[in-house]
Amino acid sequence: MNALAGSMSALIAQSAPSLASAADMLSTIGLYHYLVVACAMFALGVIGFLSRRNLIIMFLCTELMLQGASLALIAFSRYWFNHTGEVFVIFVLTVAAAEAAMALALVVLLYRKRETLDALAWSSMRG
């Protein structure tokens, strides 16, 4: 691994300059590792959102999907040494916080209406 990183850094130094330290550059297969984990977290979130009936757990599953997206953003930002990906994750965090505040207020409201957290209790809302 070190030999490869060394040859990589030599390559970088010759061909194109970079602000970032070349020795800890993420390889393409390394990027793929992170992307597979990110996609798996997203898919697990989708499965949970589709199959669970508890409103709160459904919202937890959306947070799981956001986590997968954040991980992919950070991995790509590392791969390209472009910090815009990290900046976007900050906005993802903001949106997640806003979503949690509003969604949980809605959940409390719905619970007070029907006395249950079952999503099927609201199936009459289908349009």
Residues from 15 through 54 that contact another protein (CB under 8 A): 15-22, 24, 26-37, 39-48, 50-54
Closest separation in Å from C-beta 2 to another protein: 9
Determine which residue in the list 112, 124, 125, 126 makes contact with another protein, applying CB under 8 A. 112
Per rule CB under 8 A, is residue 10 in the interface with another protein?
no
Rounded alpha-carbon distances, angstroms, from residue 65 to 25, 58, 79, 102: 27, 11, 21, 18
Q: Work out how close the CB of 68 gets to another protein at its nearest, in angstroms, rounded to a whole number.
A: 9
Nearer to another protein, 95 or 125 (CB): 95
Binds another protein by CB under 8 A, chosen from 6, 62, 69, 114: 114
- Residue 120 CB, nearest distance to another protein (Å)? 7
Show Cβ contacts of residue 65 under 8 Å, excluding neighbours closer than 6 positions.
41, 42, 45, 46, 49
**Interface size with another protein, residues (CB under 8 A):** 93
Q: Which residues, at least 6 apart from 96, have a Cβ–Cβ distance to it below 8 Å?
A: 63, 66
Cα(44)–Cα(90) distance, rounded to whole angstroms?
Answer: 23
Q: Hey, what are 62's tokens?
A: 């959306």
